[in-house]
Amino acid sequence: MTHRPRRLRSHRAIRDLVAETHLAPGQFILPVFVKEGIDSPRPIASLPGVMQHTVESLRDVVVEAVAAGLGGVMVFGVPTTRDPEASQCDDPSSILHRGVSAAVEAAAGNLVITADLCLDEFTSHGHCGVLDESGAVDNDRTLVRYQSMAVSLAEVGAHMLGLSGMMDGQVAAVRAGLDEAGHTDTAVLAYSAKYASAFYGPFRDAVESTLEGDRASYQQDPRNRLEARREVHLDLDEGADIVMVKPALSYLDVISDAAAVSTVPVAAYVVSGETAMIEWAGEQGILEREAAIDEALTSVRRAGASIVCTYWALDYARRHHPSNPAKTSNPTENGRPR
């Protein structure tokens, strides 16, 4: 027998030597939630191991993320009051802005701080934009709000903005608003292919979503693949610095397509529902949790993503880099007891 592929699988060292896909903490962005009006971190029941943070506990998580060698954190705000026009979205005193400012300070230049840029956490109806008289999302009026929100977040120090709203023209509008205000160095992470997915449930608990209806009129149809390529090309043309696919595990083909055509880094977001499935299955003994996490994250990188947004970022860093100072620097993992 001439060809014996098993030779390169025969022991751990040779498997590591010829491995085609590698994971490192620096490739990960950790999503974090900062909530207004709480005195201590609160667990999110539907998303095991993840917390809603205070501004102070958010600082602790960022310090740990730096020590763990992560690439960045993405900050989502959970305000106590909301209204139809999302009036707090560009308010420098909002919980999102205060959280971003605290994260930037705690990171001290050692971590990329991304701010979520969307109206859904600030609108009383829960949509990603303002509504017109018929109750539909008004795309172009929403872009004006996005521009104002972008500038306000750049002014409190955000290094990058995660444009998750899926409005047509949002990258061009935000880029123009930032440049006009002098924030030419603030990067844009475009949620280029964000699908109307059933896997967002725990996230909506995390941000206490007040959504009425659904987002099918602006998020992508899960049945469509070619449409995602079009969205990626449009965002590249409009000046996106990074393009992202969301969710990740259910859309590995879309990640691969994006990587094949993109001239900028491709990110993918392993979303809350995908995370919760593995966590709950692990708790029930249905699968081996840590092995499943590593396999899932590897699949996203193998598909072509150079950046992975994942709630497991610190978990992975601790397990695979045990000598890292983060191993003992803080008793919680995004709020999760070790």
**CA–CA gap between residue 293 and residue 278 (Å, rounded):** 7
Would you say residue 14 lies in a domain? no
pLDDT(328) > 70: no
Q: Which pLDDT score is estimated for 211?
A: 87
Would you say residue 15 lies in a domain? no
pLDDT(336) > 60: no
Would you say residue 137 lies in a domain? yes
Options 246, 267, 275, 296, the catalytic residue: 246
* 332-333 and 336-337 strand pairing: antiparallel
The structure tokens listed for 233 are 């090309």
* 72-78 and 51-53 strand pairing: unpaired
| Strand, coil or helix: 301 | helix
Would you say residue 9 lies in a domain? no
Give me the phi and psi of 14, to 5 degrees please: -75, -35
Would you say residue 16 lies in a domain? no
List, for residues 219-253, the tens digit of each pLDDT value. Answer: 999 999 999 999 999 999 999 999 999 999 999 99
Q: Which pLDDT score is estimated for 14?
A: 96
Q: Which residues contact 131 (CB under 8 A, 6 or more apart)?
A: 84, 125, 137, 138
List, for residues 268-311, the tens digit of each pLDDT value. Answer: 999 999 999 999 999 999 999 999 999 999 999 999 999 999 99
**CA–CA gap between residue 291 and residue 295 (Å, rounded):** 6
Mean pLDDT of all residues in 92-108:
98
Q: What is the CA radius of gyration of the chain?
A: 20
pLDDT(325) > 60: no
pLDDT(119) > 90: yes
pLDDT band at 323 (very low <50, low <70, confident <90, very high): low
Mean predicted lDDT score pLDDT of the chain: 94
Mean pLDDT of all residues in 106-111:
97
246 is catalytic: yes
Would you say residue 258 lies in a domain? yes
List, for residues 149-194, the tens digit of each pLDDT value. Answer: 999 999 999 999 999 999 999 999 999 999 999 999 999 999 999 9
Q: Residue 200's domain spans which residues?
A: 22-337
Options 97, 145, 175, 194, the catalytic residue: 194
Give me the phi and psi of 90, to 5 degrees please: -120, 20
Mean pLDDT of all residues in 134-139:
95
H/E stretch holding 194 reads strand 187-194
Would you say residue 173 lies in a domain? yes
CATH number of the domain bearing residue 305: 3.20.20.70
Would you say residue 6 lies in a domain? no
Mean pLDDT of all residues in 119-142:
95
Q: Which pLDDT score is estimated for 12?
A: 94
Counting the structural domains of the chain, the total is 1
List, for residues 15-72, the tens digit of each pLDDT value. Answer: 999 999 999 999 999 999 999 999 999 999 999 999 999 999 999 999 999 999 999 9
pLDDT(324) > 70: no
pLDDT(195) > 50: yes
Q: Which pLDDT score is estimated for 213?
A: 82
Cα torsion 102, 106, 112, 113 to 10°: value is -10
β-sheet bridge partners, residue 52: 33, 42
Q: Of the candidates 337, 338, 261, which has an alpha carbon nearest to the alpha carbon of residue 304?
A: 261
pLDDT band at 337 (very low <50, low <70, confident <90, very high): very low
Which DSSP letter does residue 296 get? H
**CA–CA gap between residue 136 and residue 138 (Å, rounded):** 6
From residue 255, give the alpha-carbon distance in Å to each of 57, 214, 248, 333: 33, 24, 7, 28
